Chain A
């Protein structure tokens, strides 16, 4: 930005030199700050499964992440350094995710990596980031990533731990819906994590597990599992699976009359599946979720987040998984602001001295030993068609389990030396 120099009435050579020098100096400082802004923007790598069965969730995460970047930049960034989002497609495949992460670290010089919708993928990305000392904030539900064997000082976890979310769900369900429970478990880590969590809370609340049925991932037809479940006569059937599996299981459970004989609970409720499945299949199902837009009745930060999202994306509401894109990116950037730097060691130190934030779903904090984001969990009931006031009015918040560190597994249990 060079100022226009008006011709002085008496133009001498000295004046010309002074003016020229001034002009060059100004020009150079402008070039330097432009170059600086280019070189030192904070690069946030964002590998998410844009292709594959969770493409919609991933797309919403990208939208929310972009909003987070804008909110951060608008409030001044990190001492003038602005953030930039680098989105990549990990194709829901751990090997591909690692390749993208290496690309982000080696070629794009990313300062932070945030992402993933799959437990296996985030463990893989964590491994790559861990080895290279790059900060990674994992967004997917997982108990494993907090454990000492996978954890490292660069690992952060905005996603919930099933131990915590299911614990909250179990406390509601076993107090209000019955004590005899049958579990339908998807045969993978996430399914087992939810099952273990239910066992803990079930023992505390006096629930009785009458049946455990495991099913392979991607099972399309659950009909052969129902006779056994019906025969066990539980009060509650808990579906510990996700995505299409959950959708199909619910649909078919309704067709085989299970919904008339028992209450249905899902370990992890997702708005995308609810929309794909329809109000009918999901009606009266209870589940745990990390975010629902109606939280705005309770938390001003949710109201602000919903409003900003609606303003940017034509009146839509952010989804549960999408909101992790916002929280995951923004919380790390705010932590960097507190630390005064984006260096991994500075961030860890800033967490160590206590980091509290309230960005989109009420008060949150990051626990020092395992960098777990301690947050609220929403227990939701899916509304029947007749009860919906508008297409986005899919759920009713039954209860909110507030952010409570005591409900997580202890640091010692996870293998951390305190």
Chain B
């Protein structure tokens, strides 16, 4: 314990933030979909895995990481649009459980399709040459690729923020999240909005999967634990709140990292424990809407 230097703590926090970035991306997609469509998307983890596989496949075909990085959200958006239009939209009139349950089954289907198409063993995948290697921070080295992921996440979030705050479409999204009825009354075709939001959320999940691929490997089950983590983050941040997802994601990344230092075997349960406490004490999460929860 006497050995804890400032450098060590800084490194621990830095790894936590890098960890948090993937949490943030997946949670963002999930919270967008819930906030706007009131759908709890249990297929989100499967979409994350699908994004990774599509990216790796594109990479195998083109040999270029950056092209693959563009291909992933495009293909995932199409998948998302298909899901929303043909699988989920017919269920909107009914109880909220139905879309949840459908996405639950969809998750199984997507993961099994991945196994059928790409095998069960996983595909080795590394960072592109430009991003390989490490930066030296004092005594320790930190992979350059993780710094890239942090930077890219920041850029994506800024882009998302600009989209939601500064564009007319973003205005509709914000209004719709507040009150879907009024938006419809104002004559806006909400079905197009739903389609695009679901596509956006799915695309972000896919990008997250592809970005995570060089760090964590590519296996069909890669999205299963990520889904649960995403739910935890979304609940803690507040379901439907974008800033909430971001803050909660980064915070949880750091919390897990610090917990890992002292008692790593507890690092998986600490998130669930915090989620349980939040739900009991303040169910709407850090930045969610209070009336939704009780």
Do these two chains interact? yes
- Determine whether the beta carbon of A220 is less than 8 Å from that of B12: no
Given the complex of chains A and B, what is the CA–CA distance between A58 and B124 in angstroms? 20
Is the C-beta of A364 less than 8 angstroms from some C-beta in chain B? no
Given the complex of chains A and B, what is the CA–CA distance between A174 and B13 in angstroms? 34
Interface size on A, residues (CB 8 A): 35
Is the C-beta of A349 less than 8 angstroms from some C-beta in chain B? no
Centre residue among A218, A228, A252, A280 by max chain B CB count within 10 A: A228
- Determine whether the beta carbon of A224 is less than 8 Å from that of B12: yes
CB distance from B11 to the nearest CB of A (A): 5
Centre residue among A55, A224, A228, A256 by max chain B CB count within 10 A: A224
Is the C-beta of B251 less than 8 angstroms from some C-beta in chain A? no
Query: Closest residue to B229 on the A side, CB-wise?
Result: A220
CB distance from B123 to the nearest CB of A (A): 8
**A244 contacts which of B11, B142, B219, B267 (Cβ < 8 Å)?**
B219
Is the C-beta of A226 less than 8 angstroms from some C-beta in chain B? yes
Is the C-beta of B243 less than 8 angstroms from some C-beta in chain A? no
**B219 contacts which of A53, A224, A251 (Cβ < 8 Å)?**
A53
CB distance from B65 to the nearest CB of A (A): 16
- The stretch among B198-206, B254-262, B273-281 that forms the contact with chain A is B254-262
CB distance from B203 to the nearest CB of A (A): 22
Evaluate whether A255 and B216 lie within 8 angstroms (CB atoms) in the complex, with A215-B265, A216-B267, A224-B260 already known: no
- Determine whether the beta carbon of A221 is less than 8 Å from that of B134: no
- Judged by DSSP, the binding face of B is helix
- Determine whether the beta carbon of B140 is less than 8 Å from that of A251: no
Cβ–Cβ < 8 Å partners of A224 in chain B: 12, 15-16, 19, 256-257, 260-261, 264, 267
- The stretch among A7-15, A269-277, A399-407 that forms the contact with chain B is A269-277
- Determine whether the beta carbon of A276 is less than 8 Å from that of B146: no
Question: Which residues 312-326 of A sit at the B interface, judged by CB distance below 8 A?
Answer: none
**B19 contacts which of A221, A247, A251, A280 (Cβ < 8 Å)?**
A221
CB distance from B274 to the nearest CB of A (A): 16
CB distance from A239 to the nearest CB of B (A): 14
Is the C-beta of A248 less than 8 angstroms from some C-beta in chain B? yes
Question: Which residues 228-242 of A sit at the B interface, judged by CB distance below 8 A?
Answer: 228, 230-231
Given the complex of chains A and B, what is the CA–CA distance between A220 and B267 in angstroms? 12
Query: Closest residue to A213 on the B side, CB-wise?
Result: B264
B206-246 CB contact bits vs A (8 Å, 1 = yes)?
Answer: 00000000011101011001100000000000000000000
Query: Closest residue to B253 on the A side, CB-wise?
Result: A224
Query: Closest residue to B143 on the A side, CB-wise?
Result: A255
- Determine whether the beta carbon of A257 is less than 8 Å from that of B257: no
CB distance from A257 to the nearest CB of B (A): 4
- Determine whether the beta carbon of A255 is less than 8 Å from that of B145: yes
- Determine whether the beta carbon of B15 is less than 8 Å from that of A275: no
Centre residue among B134, B142, B264 by max chain A CB count within 10 A: B264
Is the C-beta of B8 less than 8 angstroms from some C-beta in chain A? yes
Question: Which residues 245-281 of A sit at the B interface, judged by CB distance below 8 A?
Answer: 247-248, 251-252, 255-257, 272, 275-278, 280-281
CB distance from B19 to the nearest CB of A (A): 6
- Determine whether the beta carbon of A215 is less than 8 Å from that of B264: yes
- Determine whether the beta carbon of A216 is less than 8 Å from that of B264: yes
Query: Closest residue to B112 on the A side, CB-wise?
Result: A51
Is the C-beta of B3 less than 8 angstroms from some C-beta in chain A? yes
Cβ–Cβ < 8 Å partners of B261 in chain A: 224, 227-228
Question: Which residues 97-153 of B sit at the A interface, judged by CB distance below 8 A?
Answer: 120-122, 124, 126, 134, 139-143, 145-146
- Determine whether the beta carbon of A214 is less than 8 Å from that of B264: yes
Evaluate whether A216 and B120 lie within 8 angstroms (CB atoms) in the complex, with A53-B221, A230-B140, A231-B8 already known: no
Is the C-beta of B268 less than 8 angstroms from some C-beta in chain A? yes
- Determine whether the beta carbon of A218 is less than 8 Å from that of B225: yes
Centre residue among B8, B126, B216, B268 by max chain A CB count within 10 A: B216
- Determine whether the beta carbon of A252 is less than 8 Å from that of B215: yes
Query: Closest residue to B9 on the A side, CB-wise?
Result: A227
**B216 contacts which of A55, A225, A248, A281 (Cβ < 8 Å)?**
A248
Query: Closest residue to A275 on the B side, CB-wise?
Result: B121
Cβ–Cβ < 8 Å partners of B268 in chain A: 216, 218-219
Cβ–Cβ < 8 Å partners of A277 in chain B: 124, 217
Is the C-beta of A223 less than 8 angstroms from some C-beta in chain B? yes
Is the C-beta of A187 less than 8 angstroms from some C-beta in chain B? yes
Cβ–Cβ < 8 Å partners of A251 in chain B: 217
CB distance from A214 to the nearest CB of B (A): 4
Is the C-beta of A208 less than 8 angstroms from some C-beta in chain B? no
Given the complex of chains A and B, what is the CA–CA distance between A214 and B257 in angstroms? 13
CB distance from A306 to the nearest CB of B (A): 22
Is the C-beta of B46 less than 8 angstroms from some C-beta in chain A? no
Is the C-beta of A56 less than 8 angstroms from some C-beta in chain B? yes
Query: Closest residue to B257 on the A side, CB-wise?
Result: A224
Question: Which residues 84-104 of A sit at the B interface, judged by CB distance below 8 A?
Answer: none
Centre residue among A225, A255, A256, A277 by max chain B CB count within 10 A: A255
Is the C-beta of B26 less than 8 angstroms from some C-beta in chain A? no
CB distance from A7 to the nearest CB of B (A): 62
CB distance from A182 to the nearest CB of B (A): 13
**B141 contacts which of A55, A214, A216, A257 (Cβ < 8 Å)?**
A257
Q: Can you list 7 A-B pairs, Cβ within 8 angstroms, ordered by A? A: A214-B265, A215-B267, A216-B269, A218-B268, A224-B19, A257-B134, A275-B121
**A-B complex: 8 closest residue pairs judged by Cβ atoms:** A257-B141, A224-B260, A224-B257, A216-B268, A214-B265, A278-B124, A187-B265, A255-B143
Q: 20 more A-B contacts (CB under 8 A) besides A215-B267, A244-B217, A276-B122?
A: A56-B121, A215-B260, A216-B269, A218-B225, A220-B225, A223-B15, A224-B256, A224-B261, A227-B8, A227-B11, A227-B12, A231-B3, A248-B216, A248-B217, A256-B134, A256-B141, A257-B134, A257-B140, A272-B121, A281-B124
